[in-house]
Amino acid sequence: MVDYNKSEKNFEILFFKVYRNKYLNHKIYTHLSLFREYRKIELNLDPIEILKYREYFSYIQEIKYNGTLELPLSRFSFPILKTIEIGRFSKTPPENISYLTSIDPASVPNSVDTIIFPLDEDINVTCLRNFPDSIKTFKNVKFLNQNDYYIPSGVTSLTFNSTIGFWNIKDFFPPTLTFLDLGLAWAYTSVIGILPQSMKTLKVRTQIYDESIFPSSLTDLTMSQVPKLIGLYPKNLKKLSIISTVHSDLNLNSLNGLNSLEILELDTNSLLLEINSVPQSVTILNIKTASFHNLYRDMLPKSLKSLKINVYVDSFRIISLPVGLLELNCISSGLKDLDVGLLPESLTSLCLGKKKNKGFNKPIKDGYLPNYLKSLDFGEFNQQINYLPHSLVNLNFGEFFNKQIIPNSLPSNVEKIVFSPLFNQKLLLNSLPLKLVHLEFGNNFNNQIPVDILPQSLKTLIFGNRFNQLFLPGSLPSSISKLIIGNKGSITASCFNNPINENVLPQTLKHFELNCPRYSHPINESFLPSSLRIFIVSDNIIKNDRVF
């Protein structure tokens, strides 16, 4: 008889022996770094010239190719390649060629399971007949003529860019198909019984008139138009999304009978919600609408655990919520008049609104927030903090907060803090919780960090683009393992241009990003800790054995 507990213990011992070996540890982090850099590549020039450097082929999982020459897949080895995406295509293929000339289906490695064609309908002329059986997913397919009407038997996921008149073909869809996005054009009257019983997820973008088109196996349905008739929804649905881009009114009484529905997403111009109109089985509800009345008692099911609501009307208010609700994300004005007892005690995650001048922005009093709240996003809040629940673990100061943090005003259990983009206040002694693990400043912050201000529990520290202060020796806790200066995804570049001096970086640091194009000081490698495994400067990983 196998002793699994003993085997697991032996595995842990072996793992830590390998991990603590300096040579093997060095190799592990080197491969991880190369995988992060080369996992997904984009080719825009001559592919042969780029791909002739073979040392990183074993890390490539995704290729996006924007060239006009044929991608020479057969000339190289891609052992873990999974996805090929064809980007822009500069010219239309000759009439006698029914697939994109920039990729030869016969040369696609058997490891590949996903092919993504261009979205451009004028150039996306595809034929799936010659691709290997390993392909399970095709996206943005457009057939030009009946000779191309073929889908490989093993395909499980299929997305059409446009579809034209092939719906009367018997057994057109393979019995393995589980995901189908039908694109923009579809003659619904001719597809009754065509969709396979293997179907789990279906997306349609034009009007539906007959429920018999839906296979009984369907559990996830996305519709881009509100059905004209009540009762067209499949009865076994677990997820329903109605995302309408045209003016339409939705009466939720049409959902009666969907007793298996768990997730409901609604994005329509007008929404009529009455008592018991949302099925009692729904646990996740997302609402986005331009016309909606207030939320009163018993309008939402008692089963509801997560609610995200975005109503464009300024007068919208939440009057009552289910007692068992766990997550609430109110992007609109619904919580602008937050008062004692409105939020249920069951709530563990709360976002107070993120639309300009619509969110909550009043001093927080005892009883406003539930005692078991763990995650709080302040949205538009910009008031002095006097009271927060001791249960809080994650704290996001939203969009506009820029007030001094009073010492010992934040709950002691908080582990993650993200300051607002506008925050630019000096940090005082004991203003940050002693258990803090993750601290992130917004782009406006530009204050020097004094010694002993940051807690010794801190592991991740992130500064925004306006930060340009000299780090003092001892100001960064010895516990920090990840330090990022500058936001590489921002439109404005980082201002940071202060030297990294000796004894500034903690000896525990493993990940250091200096996303600062204006940084002009030499980087003294002797000042970098020996623990450092990943060092990124202006988006380029330094390939240096003394760093990795």
Q: What is the mean pLDDT of the chain?
A: 81
Share of the chain above pLDDT 90, in %: 35
Confidence of residue 282 (pLDDT cuts 50, 70, 90): very high
Does residue 391 register a pLDDT over 50? yes
Count of CB atoms within 10 A of residue 317's CB?
19
- Cβ distance 210 to 189 under 8 Å? yes
Confidence of residue 542 (pLDDT cuts 50, 70, 90): very low
Does residue 422 register a pLDDT over 50? yes
Distance between alpha carbon 332 and the CA centroid of its chain, in Å? 21
Domains of the chain: which residue ranges?
1-34
3-state secondary structure 294-330: CECCCCCCCCCCEEEEEECCCCCCECCCCCCCCEEEE
- Cβ distance 187 to 164 under 8 Å? no
Could you tell me which residues come within 8 angstroms of residue 134 by beta carbon, excluding any fewer than 6 positions away? 110, 111, 112, 113, 154
What pLDDT was estimated at residue 543? 36
Cα–Cα dist 25/47, whole Å: 34
Cα–Cα dist 517/523, whole Å: 14
Confidence of residue 9 (pLDDT cuts 50, 70, 90): low
What pLDDT was estimated at residue 255? 79
Mean pLDDT to the nearest integer, 518-546: 71
Range in 1-5, 86-90, 215-219, 505-509 with the lowest mean pLDDT = 1-5
What pLDDT was estimated at residue 409? 94
Cα–Cα dist 504/425, whole Å: 23
What pLDDT was estimated at residue 431? 95
Could you tell me which residues come within 8 angstroms of residue 94 by beta carbon, excluding any fewer than 6 positions away? none
Cα–Cα dist 187/166, whole Å: 9
Look up residue 415 and give its two tokens: 């582990």
- Cβ distance 65 to 82 under 8 Å? no
Helix (H, G, I), strand (E, B) or coil at 285: strand
- Cβ distance 67 to 90 under 8 Å? no
Could you tell me which residues come within 8 angstroms of residue 484 by beta carbon, excluding any fewer than 6 positions away? 460, 461, 462, 463, 511, 512, 513, 515
Mean pLDDT to the nearest integer, 327-350: 85
DSSP designation for 529: -
DSSP designation for 105: G
What is the distance between the terminal CA atoms of the chain, rounded to a whole angstrom? 44
Could you tell me which residues come within 8 angstroms of residue 178 by beta carbon, excluding any fewer than 6 positions away? 156, 157, 198, 199, 200, 201
- Cβ distance 388 to 364 under 8 Å? yes
Identify the residue with better confidence: 493 or 321.
321
Share of the chain above pLDDT 70, in %: 76
Does residue 5 register a pLDDT over 60? no
What pLDDT was estimated at residue 90? 44
Backbone angles phi, psi at 333, to 5 degrees: -85, 10
- Pairing of the two strands 534-537 and 83-86: unpaired
What pLDDT was estimated at residue 32? 77
Cα–Cα dist 33/495, whole Å: 26
Cα–Cα dist 278/180, whole Å: 26
Mean pLDDT to the nearest integer, 479-500: 86
Range in 127-141, 306-320, 335-349 with the lowest mean pLDDT = 306-320
What pLDDT was estimated at residue 98? 39
Confidence of residue 393 (pLDDT cuts 50, 70, 90): very high
Confidence of residue 15 (pLDDT cuts 50, 70, 90): low
What pLDDT was estimated at residue 93? 47
What pLDDT was estimated at residue 377? 92
- Pairing of the two strands 40-43 and 62-65: parallel
Confidence of residue 168 (pLDDT cuts 50, 70, 90): low
Identify the residue with better confidence: 165 or 174.
174
Confidence of residue 7 (pLDDT cuts 50, 70, 90): low
Cα–Cα dist 117/389, whole Å: 51
Q: How far are the Cα atoms of 4, 178, 532 from residue 222, in angstroms, in the given order?
A: 44, 14, 47
Does residue 198 register a pLDDT over 50? yes
Could you tell me which residues come within 8 angstroms of residue 446 by beta carbon, excluding any fewer than 6 positions away? 424, 466, 467, 468, 469, 495
Return the half-sphere exposure (C-beta side, CA atoms, 13 A cut-off) of residue 547: 15
What pLDDT was estimated at residue 327? 95
Does residue 182 register a pLDDT over 50? yes
Look up residue 197 and give its two tokens: 């019983």
What pLDDT was estimated at residue 471? 95
What pLDDT was estimated at residue 518? 83
DSSP designation for 169: S
Look up residue 228 and give its two tokens: 């004209």
What pLDDT was estimated at residue 210? 63
Confidence of residue 193 (pLDDT cuts 50, 70, 90): low
Mean pLDDT to the nearest integer, 234-244: 87
Strands (E), 40-170: 40-43, 62-65, 83-86, 114-116, 137-142, 157-162
Identify the residue with better confidence: 51 or 200.
200
